[in-house]
Structure 1
Amino acid sequence: MSDTFLGSCDAHGPMQTDAALQAPLFLTGFARSGTTWINRLLRDYFDTGLVNEGQFIVSFGLRLTRYGDLDQKAHRERLLRDLRADPFFSIVRRNYGVEIDWQQVASAQPSFRAITLDILGQIAAQTHKQRIGSKYPVFGRHLDLLNRLFPDCRVVHVVRDGRDCALSHKGVTWGYQNTYSAAVHWQQYIEAARRSSAAMPGRYVEIRYEDLLLHPEQSMRALEHFITGDDSFPVTQRFVQNGMALKTEKVEGWRADMSAASQAIFEGVAGDVLAHCGYPLTGVAHVPSLLERTGYRIHNRVTREGWHLARKVFKRLPERK
């Protein structure tokens, strides 16, 4: 495994302190990195109240200045009104049966941090979990915001070989539609997360998707140590005993399914970051010319906007596979 993992506490290990359980655990990773699977692991094995992607934390956190001083009742009420209208809350109501008590939220301390912690606490309680948290791929681009709002939070960043991410993106209508665009954004994402994580010593960890599939016991031990600090590893033991079937065929799919030309483009754009993440290089790299880069950007934008329009016109448009 390529990273060092640090620790905290857990509901399935030693008795938890209120402070440990109420420090939010945020899960992130570049889209199509396996965060949905890791989300289930954190929910089922680490007793974390993770539901739909908590985009409201970033979207409102970035525009808090619009609401002014939240100590003023009128400003706070306007924030709560806008929060209630956010699609996140209708989704968690429909998918998880979670009904937020907004009167309780309104009684929280007059800060966005306190309001968010109350919401996450209600979600955890109603889904019968002890630990609070949220999953959202975009968190990785805004770790500085999370660290400012929640200085005690912990972040699990799932990293996957960008070439497999690029292949997976081409299979969904909202994804990056060519290898160059996927490589640029994967590289930028990893670099942004790592840059911001420097301000979170001991509270940020990277775990490779491939390591969880190929070395599940070792990887779960590292994850458990980071989250719980319990070196008797009861969660890992339970995970191993359950014998979960792992889709190891998802590792290095790019070798068979990505053309040599696409492999060279990805390596030419993001080869340094691939290597820093511990992924093998082919040694053949192609750095696209200015003209090629312009063409790839136009193709990606036009194609994604076309799919977006199609989804609006044809409701429930199925994803390509």
Structure 2
Amino acid sequence: MLHAHERIAVPPETRFLLSAYYHRRLHGDMRVVENRRRLAEWIATDKTTKFRELHLDRAAYVRKAVEGPGSLGSVIGEAFREYAQRFGKPRWGDKRPSYIKHLEVMLRLFPDAQFVHLVRDGRDCVASLKEMPWYPHDVFHAISTWRETIDLGRWFAARLPAGTYYELRYEDLTADPEAELARLCGFLREDFDPAMCEPRQVATVAVPAHKVWHSNTHREITQARVGSWATRLAPWEIALCEWVLGDRLRSWGYQVEECERPSAEHLLAYHRVATRRWLAWRKRVARDRISRLREPGPLEAMLTSGQLASVTVPPPRAPSAALVDR
């Protein structure tokens, strides 16, 4: 839907942003030309980055990253800017659900970023994750994922600067796309584009063909999957979801009937998984805090006027169209 907007480009999910950040000590100071070249070449050629799905000229991207500003965010952001320029658009986004755990990192790299958090009934999310060919975990992990996402979203919503974070419900979006997208455009400070209500028109570009689990993006907007958890989850899975997630589901307006307490075995399995996941996340945060004590070089992207202002660099007097942000 966002990619259908005349000014916004959102590529298929990539895999290089967080990896580049958390391995920044290995990549070195981006003020050094050769370090920019090595990082850009890794982004453009490594099979794990999914850069190939952007359908960009690799050599051209590497050249522009090398010639661009000497910061980690600039080298990373240049790939997305190239993607936006492919469609003649001035703004870009990136979609990856796991970013909710790294919003602080995202703001370190892109200080003028805006975040859109699309929330869906946790039971439908659990049912969906279980069926995904790329999801290797069990229902206990899936339940923990939704709970973490909701808790982190609310935590960031209370702390991020005004105009930075926006939440909306999947069910509301599919029920009344025009109204919800108009409100979203208001947050983004963009005019509403009716084409956003016809995402299937750009799905062949925005959604790689091999991602068959996104096949509904090629059709009319539908609510067919809303509430489908009732037939996709086993009774014990529904009971566990509603017992663990009940308060959070209700706070988002989802109906939760009174349910029986799940078995001790299932509750214990869930709490073990949830605790391990929480400890692993806290460990990663702690490691990053230590790394911040000695950064290898500048982090903030310097590709837009908003980014330049955040690092107290005056924007150019006559910026090219590619440098014009919102």
Q: TM-score under structure 2 normalisation? A: 0.68
Q: Name the counterpart of 2:285.
A: none
Q: Distance in 2 between matches of 1:117 and 1:295?
A: 38
- Whole-Å separation in 1 of the counterparts to 2:178 and 2:163: 22
C-alpha contact 1:275 1:281 (8 A) present in aligned 2: yes
Check conservation: 1:264, 1:284, Cα contact below 8 A: yes
Cα pair 1:140 1:189 within 8 Å, conserved: yes
Question: What residue number does 2:26 align with?
Answer: 66
For the residue of structure 1 that corresponds to 2:253, the secondary structure is coil
Q: Is the aligned partner of 1:214 residue 2:175?
A: yes
Could you tell me how far apart the structure 1 residues matched to 2:55 and 2:97 are? 23
Please give the alpha-carbon distance, in whole angstroms, between the structure 2 residues aligned to 1:187 and 1:168. 15
Structure 1 residue 167: deviation in Å? 1.1
1:167 to 127, 130, 134: 127
Verify the 8 A CA contact 2:37 2:65 in the aligned structure 1: no
Indicate whether 1:227 and 2:202 are aligned. no
Partner Cα distance (2:253, 2:45) in 1: 43
**Structure 2 counterpart of 1:266, one-letter code:** C
Sort the Cα spacing of 1:87 and 1:81 in 2 relative to 1 into closer, same or farther, 3 A: same
How far apart are residue 147 of structure 1 and its match?
1.2
Contact 1:169 1:176 in 2 (8 A): no
- Give the CA deviation at 1:159: 0.9
Identify the match of residue 201 of structure 1 among 156, 162, 165: 162
Deviates more, 1:73-82 or 1:219-228: 73-82
Match of 2:197 among 239, 242, 251: 239
Closer, same or farther in 2 for the Cα pair 1:265/1:194, shift >3 Å?
Answer: same
Paired positions, count: 253
Query: Is the alpha carbon distance of 1:176 and 1:189 closer, same or farther for their aligned partners in structure 2, counting shifts above 3 Å?
Result: farther
| Equivalent residue letter for 1:211 | D
What amino acid is the match of 1:208? R
Q: Match of 2:244? A: 269
3-state SS of the aligned residue for 2:29?
A: coil
Measure, in 2, the Cα distance between the counterparts of 1:150 and 1:285: 46
Q: Is the 8 A contact 1:267 1:285 kept in 2?
A: no
Shift of 1:46: 4.7
Task: Name the CA distance, whole Å, in 2 between partners of 1:238 and 1:44.
Answer: 5
Gaps of 5+ in 2: 202-218, 274-326
Q: Runs of 5+ in structure 1 lacking a partner? A: 1-40, 299-321
CA apart distance, 1:284: 1.3
Q: What is the SS of the residue equivalent to 1:43?
A: coil
Residue 179 of structure 1: how far off its partner (Å): 3.2
1:87 and 2:62 aligned: no
Displacement after TM superposition at 1:286 (Å): 3.0
1:20-56 Cα distance to aligned partner (Å, 9 max, x none):
xxxxxxxxxxxxxxxxxxxxx1111253222221221
Q: Is the 8 A contact 1:187 1:270 kept in 2?
A: yes
The one-letter code sitting in structure 1 at the alignment partner of 2:182 is R
The code of the aligned residue for 1:43 comes to H
Deviation at 1:88, TM superposition (A): 6.0
Q: 1:1-321 maps to which residues of 2 (within 5 A)?
A: 41-87=1-47, 91-93=50-52, 95-100=53-58, 101=60, 102-175=62-135, 177-197=137-157, 198-230=159-191, 233=192, 235-236=193-194, 239=197, 245-284=220-259, 286=261, 289=264, 293-294=268-269
- Cα deviation for residue 74 of structure 1 reads 4.3
In structure 2, distance between residues paired with 1:147 and 1:64: 16
Instruction: Return the alpha-carbon distance in structure 2 between the equivalents of residues 74 and 238 of structure 1.
Output: 41
Could you say what the CA RMSD is over the residues aligned between the two structures, in angstroms? Answer: 3.0
Q: How has the CA–CA distance of structure 1 residues 275 and 76 changed in structure 2, closer, same or farther, with 3 Å as cutoff?
A: same
1:269, 1:287 within 8 Å by CA — same for their partners in 2?
Answer: no
Distance, in Å, in 1 between the alignment partners of 2:177 and 2:114 is: 21
Given that residues 147 and 200 in structure 1 are in contact (C-alpha distance below 8 angstroms), is that contact kept between their aligned partners in structure 2?
A: no
Question: What secondary structure, in the 3-state scheme, does the structure 2 residue paired with 1:207 have?
Answer: strand
